């Protein structure tokens, strides 16, 4: 009964969002990068598979704002990962015939049968090298089944014979265990296979995931007969213990019994979907990006251009760099009116159920006197002057506009400013938060600008400098607010 | 669906039009937006664009026609030559062996991601 109630609530929440966000005829779009909505062709007839470029999507709102991208290299890639994220660091975990697995003095005669060659007095094994971010305890899992060989040696750098364990897949018993194996276990699974798990101490960042055939306990070195072999499948290398995850590629990871999180990965270089899609002008709307790292809600979205693009790092009218902040994109929603608080809560709930880590909330304003209503108080402006509550910059070269404030290194912020007038031509300005790298330079034409930026290594706050030449313009409405992930 | 593979492609600007014509002839219409990301030398604000880039999936049969380069720690080394005969046939004779050799001498095609490729070559995406 409880399950039925929960299921009902889930369904009601979802239907509320889909049906009611646009029920008064609001313009907008609801994109779900998931099966049934993402396609591999611009005709929107062939469903995209994990690892394929997304050529287009069907709008889930009643507005029919379907989006496409004709240029194949400019399509984001469709992917799926289990809720909770990737744990298995390997790929091609059920296809030892793939060249991903290096075969040494042996070959893969089927997707799971490793057969030795006839080399005399040597090891016969398959290997995949993995590099960890830092020395860490690792769990090495593999399922093995006896064929004409029943003994295996499973190890880390087993080709060198350093560390690992012998296992008999006929009897399910371990033989000799070597090196820094801290723990080991084996249990029977389906079809005569044994799941063997070895736990290694944090000795190194380099892990050679090796599976050797053996002629018996401690029989890793022997003369092959060219035909004998054993079955191996479902390899997993992880820094935490857990059930097997099947990894076909970095874009296709699944785990039995765990829901998939489907996403689009924008590469940050040239991916755009949609690409200059004609839409009605939006004077006061909302734009929501549900990403795996968090949900971004822009509830003061303005886009009067009549066109919408998403990518490479932002959306039309959005802060540059916001897509890398939210991570892989699960869903995008925009509408020509802001969200109510109830709608926001519903969207956040929906996003978290889809696999997002939480909501990105904007913190308190860090800039003092960002509207220059108190002259230049709080600012270091060089020869610039405040006129009519805006900063008139005669030229940024050697006249940086600076305000110091405290900000933790690595903190993501949303920085905004407005250019109200301009006297220079193509010269560029650029912005830095903290002492990190400057953000990409921009031509300060009249308009509003926003960036998602990561603070540098200390607290020097906001700094605007020239990018090229000596740009002259009028600056106003400067804002820097920290972005914090909240999990409701 | 036709299998897709990842490639990062770089070309010097003077050869972009020729490359796009070839891509259209071989891969079909709709790809005129390729090779539109300007890149240049790192940390040089005034540097002119030295290359144009595309990165992402392409169709495997198309990738098989292109050259392939691998980073050897110092430079990209060509490990697969382009399939000149097929490309010339697909172009309806518009492309010549000599023209293609000039074009592909100005191209880097790699399985590496764009960030790795640009880091290797000490390039970055250009500011406007």
pLDDT tens digits, B31-61: 888 999 999 986 555 567 899 999 999 999 9
B28: left (phi over 0), alpha (psi -120 to 50) or beta: left
Q: Is the pLDDT of residue A157 over 60?
A: yes
What does the pLDDT average to over A332-344? 95
> Are B56 and A77 in contact (CB < 8 Å)?
yes
Q: Which pair of structure tokens corresponds to residue A410? A: 């690595």
> Are A70 and B57 in contact (CB < 8 Å)?
no
Of A77, A428, A440, the CB nearest to B57: A77
DSSP A188-208: E-GGG-EEEEEEE-S--SEEE
Lowest mean pLDDT among A112-126, A350-364, A434-448: A434-448
Q: Is the pLDDT of residue A336 over 60?
A: yes
For residue A301, what pLDDT band results from cuts at 50, 70 and 90? very high
Q: Is the pLDDT of residue A176 over 70?
A: yes
Alpha carbon distance A368, A120 (integer Å): 77
Alpha carbon distance B84, A466 (integer Å): 48
> Measured between beta carbons, which residues in chain B are less than 8 angstroms from residue A249?
none
Cβ of B57 under 8 Å from any chain A Cβ?
Answer: yes
Of the candidates A62, A56, A58, A60, the residue with the CA atom closest to the CA atom of residue A27: A62
**pLDDT in the model for residue A385:** 96
**pLDDT in the model for residue A458:** 63
> Are A72 and B125 in contact (CB < 8 Å)?
no
**pLDDT in the model for residue A316:** 96
For residues B25 and A419, which has the higher predicted lDDT (pLDDT)?
Answer: A419
Q: Is the pLDDT of residue A471 over 90?
A: yes
Instruction: Could you list the beta-strand ranges (E) of A136-272.
Output: 138-145, 151-156, 163-168, 173-178, 181-188, 194-200, 206-214, 229-238, 246-249, 252-254, 260-265
What share of chain A has pLDDT > 90, as a percent? 79
Q: Is the pLDDT of residue A2 over 50?
A: no
* A468 to chain B: closest CA residue: B45
pLDDT tens digits, A76-90: 999 999 999 999 999
What is the count of residue pairs from A and B with beta carbons less than 8 Å apart?
80
Integer CA distances (angstroms), A320 to A294, A431, A465, B61, in order? 16, 12, 18, 35
**pLDDT in the model for residue A134:** 86
> Are A270 and B31 in contact (CB < 8 Å)?
no
**Can you state the percent helix, strand and coil of chain B, rounding each to 5?**
35, 30, 35
Residue A337 near residue A284, CB atoms below 8 Å: yes
> Measured between beta carbons, which residues in chain A are less than 8 angstroms from residue B46?
468
For residue A3, what pLDDT band results from cuts at 50, 70 and 90? very low
Cβ of A276 under 8 Å from any chain B Cβ?
Answer: no
> Measured between beta carbons, which residues in chain B are less than 8 angstroms from residue A275?
33
Q: In angstroms, how far is CA A200 from the centroid of its own chain?
A: 28
For residues A439 and A65, which has the higher predicted lDDT (pLDDT)?
Answer: A65
* A312 to chain B: closest CA residue: B37
Cβ of A52 under 8 Å from any chain B Cβ?
Answer: yes
Q: Is the pLDDT of residue A30 over 90?
A: yes
> Measured between beta carbons, which residues in chain A are less than 8 angstroms from residue B54?
71, 73-74, 270
pLDDT tens digits, B64-97: 999 999 999 999 999 999 999 998 988 887 888 9
Q: Is the pLDDT of residue A436 over 90?
A: no
Q: Is the pLDDT of residue A308 over 90?
A: yes
Residue A167 near residue A154, CB atoms below 8 Å: yes
**Pairing between strand A113-116 and A106-108?**
antiparallel
> Are A267 and B55 in contact (CB < 8 Å)?
yes
What does the pLDDT average to over A128-155? 93
What does the pLDDT average to over A155-169? 80
For residue A132, what pLDDT band results from cuts at 50, 70 and 90? confident
Q: Which pair of structure tokens corresponds to residue A224? A: 């092959």
Q: In angstroms, how far is CA A22 from the centroid of its own chain?
A: 29
Cβ of B23 under 8 Å from any chain A Cβ?
Answer: no
Chain A interface test: which of B56, B58, B109, B117 (most A C-beta within 10 Å): B56
Please give, one letter per residue, the 3-state secondary structure of A127-152. EEEEECCCCCCEEEEEEEECCCCCEE
> Measured between beta carbons, which residues in chain A are less than 8 angstroms from residue B32?
71
Of the candidates A333, A368, A327, the residue with the CA atom closest to the CA atom of residue A347: A333
> Are A430 and B127 in contact (CB < 8 Å)?
yes
- What is the reported pTM? 0.89
CB atoms near residue A157 (< 10 Å): 18
Residue A80 near residue A61, CB atoms below 8 Å: no
> Measured between beta carbons, which residues in chain B are less than 8 angstroms from residue A440?
125, 127-128
Alpha carbon distance B71, B90 (integer Å): 29
Q: Is the pLDDT of residue A281 over 80?
A: yes
Cβ of B100 under 8 Å from any chain A Cβ?
Answer: no
**pLDDT in the model for residue A410:** 82
> Are B1 and A430 in contact (CB < 8 Å)?
no
**pLDDT in the model for residue A1:** 32
């Amino acid at each position: 009964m409880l399950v039925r109630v929960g299921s009902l609530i889930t369904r009601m929440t979802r239907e509320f969002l889909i049906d009611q966000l646009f029920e008064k005829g609001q313009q907008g779009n609801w994109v779900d990068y998931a099966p049934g909505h993402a396609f591999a062709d611009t005709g929107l007839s062939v469903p995209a598979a994990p690892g394929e470029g997304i050529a287009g999507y069907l709008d889930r709102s009643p507005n029919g704002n379907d989006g496409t991208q004709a240029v194949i290299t400019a399509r984001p890639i469709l992917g799926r990962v289990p809720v909770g994220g990737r744990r298995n660091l390997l790929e091609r975990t059920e296809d030892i015939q793939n060249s991903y697995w290096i075969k040494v003095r042996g070959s893969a005669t089927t997707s799971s049968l490793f057969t030795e060659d006839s080399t005399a007095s040597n090891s016969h094994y398959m290997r995949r090298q993995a590099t960890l971010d830092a020395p860490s305890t690792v769990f090495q899992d593999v399922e093995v089944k006896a064929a004409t060989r029943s003994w295996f040696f499973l190890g880390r750098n087993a080709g060198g014979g350093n560390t690992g364990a012998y296992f008999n897949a006929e009897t399910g018993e371990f033989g000799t265990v070597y090196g820094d194996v801290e723990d080991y276990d084996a249990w029977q699974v389906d079809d005569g296979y044994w799941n063997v798990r070895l736990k290694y101490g944090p000795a190194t960042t380099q892990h050679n995931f090796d599976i050797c055939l053996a002629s018996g306990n401690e029989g890793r070195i022997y003369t092959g007969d060219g035909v004998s072999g054993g079955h191996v499948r479902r390899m997993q290398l992880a820094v935490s213990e857990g059930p097997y995850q099947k990894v076909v590629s970095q874009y296709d990871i699944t785990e039995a019994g765990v829901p998939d999180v489907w996403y689009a990965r924008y590469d940050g270089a040239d991916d755009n979907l949609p690409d200059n899609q004609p839409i009605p002008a939006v004077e006061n709307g909302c734009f929501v990006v549900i990403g795996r790292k968090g949900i971004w809600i822009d509830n003061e979205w303005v886009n009067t251009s009549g066109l919408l693009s998403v990518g490479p790092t932002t959306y039309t009218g959005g802060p540059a760099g916001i897509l890398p902040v939210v991570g892989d994109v699960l869903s995008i929603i925009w509408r020509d009116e802001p969200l109510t608080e109830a709608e926001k809560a519903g969207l956040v709930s929906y996003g978290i159920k889809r696999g997002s880590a939480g909501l990105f909330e904007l913190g308190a304003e860090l800039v003092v006197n960002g509207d220059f209503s108190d002259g230049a108080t709080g600012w270091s402006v060089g020869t610039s002057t405040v006129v009519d509550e805006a900063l008139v910059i005669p030229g940024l070269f050697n006249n940086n506009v600076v305000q110091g404030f405290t900000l933790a290194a690595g903190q993501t912020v949303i920085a905004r400013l407005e250019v109200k007038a301009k006297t220079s031509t193509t010269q560029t300005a650029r912005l830095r938060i903290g002492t990190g790298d400057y953000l990409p330079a921009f031509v300060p034409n009249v308009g509003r600008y926003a960036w998602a930026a990561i603070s540098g290594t200390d607290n020097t706050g906001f700094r605007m400098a020239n990018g090229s030449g000596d740009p002259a313009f009028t600056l106003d409405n400067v804002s820097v607010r920290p972005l914090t992930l909240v999990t409701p | 669906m036709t299998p897709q593979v990842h490639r990062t492609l770089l070309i010097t600007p003077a050869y972009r039009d020729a490359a796009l014509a070839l891509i259209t002839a071989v891969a079909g219409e709709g790809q005129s937006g390729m090779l539109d990301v300007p890149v240049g030398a790192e940390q040089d604000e005034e540097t002119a664009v030295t290359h144009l880039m595309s990165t992402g999936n392409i169709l495997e049969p198309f990738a098989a026609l292109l050259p392939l380069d691998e980073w050897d720690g110092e430079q990209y080394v060509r490990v697969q030559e382009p399939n000149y005969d097929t490309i010339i046939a697909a172009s309806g004779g518009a492309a010549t062996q000599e023209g293609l050799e000039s074009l592909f001498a100005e191209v880097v095609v790699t399985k590496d991601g764009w960030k790795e490729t640009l880091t290797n070559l000490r390039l970055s995406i250009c500011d406007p």
